[in-house]
């Protein structure tokens, strides 16, 4: 049993982390496990290794958020493990492409993961958390790009991530009567495979130099932010976006 003298209220609660195979999602899963949560590590890729690192109460499940039948199977798996308290969605797709070269297939792939997939995932999770009758938490990842328009070939990604801002507000109102909060995290640069994909060292340097803290976030720092948004400490925050960007974008 994890000591909860601080009153976070996370210990023993069941949470699904989607996108847990790598990057931010893997770090979130590990941080929540350390705080005593029972974590279901879900991803399109195999996350058995991450689940093993999280410890014996964690499990791994394969889900593709663009395939609603796999979302239903994931919720069924959660039900078999107990009462679902939380969902953190870190699954995301960024196809860095110069504006002039974006085609219909790319656009649809990004929409399917970042927008439609998140809709079906959160709808299923919200219903399951509501059925538990004990309140809960939903945390979705948007991006600084949704507020700035994006850089380095990320226009369509920024568009799809902006949709998360409307979704959390809509769901926040639906969840509030059942003490379910729904919030978003908007990171700037976080040092993960997504950040580095398709970026030259020169691009990365120029991005870093525009961050007042002059560094990218470590994935584990986003783990702490998610822990806060899942905890009893944040029970009255809903429909909000937490900007985590080292001072680069200040709304």
- Residue 43 near residue 64, CB atoms below 8 Å: no
Task: Give me the helices (H) in the chain, please.
Answer: 23-34, 48-54, 68-81, 104-111, 117-132, 145-148, 155-175, 193-196, 201-209, 219-230
78 is a contact residue toward ligand NAD (CB under 6 A): no
Contact with ligand NAD (CB under 6 A) among 25, 86, 150, 223: 25
Would you put residue 54 in left (φ > 0), alpha (ψ -120 to 50) or beta? alpha
CB of 63 to ligand NAD, least distance (A): 5
- Residue 118 near residue 140, CB atoms below 8 Å: yes
CB of 223 to ligand NAD, least distance (A): 11
At 85, phi and psi to the nearest 5?
-105, -35
Is the alpha carbon torsion for 48, 192, 115, 162 positive or negative?
Answer: positive
Contact with ligand NAD (CB under 6 A) among 91, 158, 159, 227: 91
Nearest residue to 13 via CA among 30, 42, 40, 36: 36
121 is a contact residue toward ligand NAD (CB under 6 A): no
229 is a contact residue toward ligand NAD (CB under 6 A): no
Nearest residue to 223 via CA among 247, 199, 244: 244
At 154, phi and psi to the nearest 5?
-125, 30
Which residue stretch of 41-49, 147-155, 223-231, 235-243 sits at the interface with ligand NAD (rule: CB under 6 A)? 41-49
50 is a contact residue toward ligand NAD (CB under 6 A): no
Active site residue 249: no
CB of 163 to ligand NAD, least distance (A): 12
CB of 12 to ligand NAD, least distance (A): 26
19 is a contact residue toward ligand NAD (CB under 6 A): yes
Contact with ligand NAD (CB under 6 A) among 38, 43, 110, 128: 43
Which residue stretch of 2-10, 13-21, 170-178, 234-242 sits at the interface with ligand NAD (rule: CB under 6 A)? 13-21
- Residue 147 near residue 205, CB atoms below 8 Å: no
Give the footprint of ligand NAD on this chain (CB under 6 A): 18-19, 21-25, 43-45, 63-66, 90-93, 113, 117, 141, 143-144, 187, 189-190, 192-195
**Mind telling me the catalytic residues?**
157
């Amino acid at each position: 049993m994890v000591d909860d003298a601080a009153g976070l209220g996370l210990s023993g609660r069941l949470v699904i982390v989607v996108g847990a195979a790598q990057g931010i999602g893997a770090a979130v899963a590990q941080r929540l496990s350390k705080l005593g949560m029972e974590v279901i590590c879900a991803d399109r890729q195999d996350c058995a290794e991450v689940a093993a690192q999280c410890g014996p109460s964690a499990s791994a499940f394969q889900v593709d958020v663009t395939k609603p039948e796999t979302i239903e199977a994931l919720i069924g798996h959660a039900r078999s493990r107990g009462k679902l308290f939380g969902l953190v969605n870190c699954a995301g797709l960024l196809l860095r492409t110069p504006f002039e070269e974006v085609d219909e297939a790319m656009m649809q792939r990004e929409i399917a993961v970042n927008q439609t997939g998140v809709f079906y995932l959160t709808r299923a999770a919200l219903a399951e958390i509501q059925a538990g009758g004990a309140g809960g938490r939903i945390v979705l990842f948007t991006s600084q790009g949704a507020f700035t328009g994006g850089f380095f070939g990320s226009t369509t990604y920024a568009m799809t991530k902006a949709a998360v801002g409307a979704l959390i507000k809509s769901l926040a109102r639906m969840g509030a009567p059942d003490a379910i909060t729904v919030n978003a995290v908007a990171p700037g640069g976080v040092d993960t495979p997504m950040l580095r994909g398709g970026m030259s060292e020169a691009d990365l340097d120029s991005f870093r130099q525009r961050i007042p803290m002059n560094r990218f976030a470590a994935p584990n720092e986003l783990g702490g932010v998610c822990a806060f948004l899942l905890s009893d400490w944040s029970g009255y925050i809903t429909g909000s976006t937490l900007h985590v960007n080292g001072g680069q974008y200040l709304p």
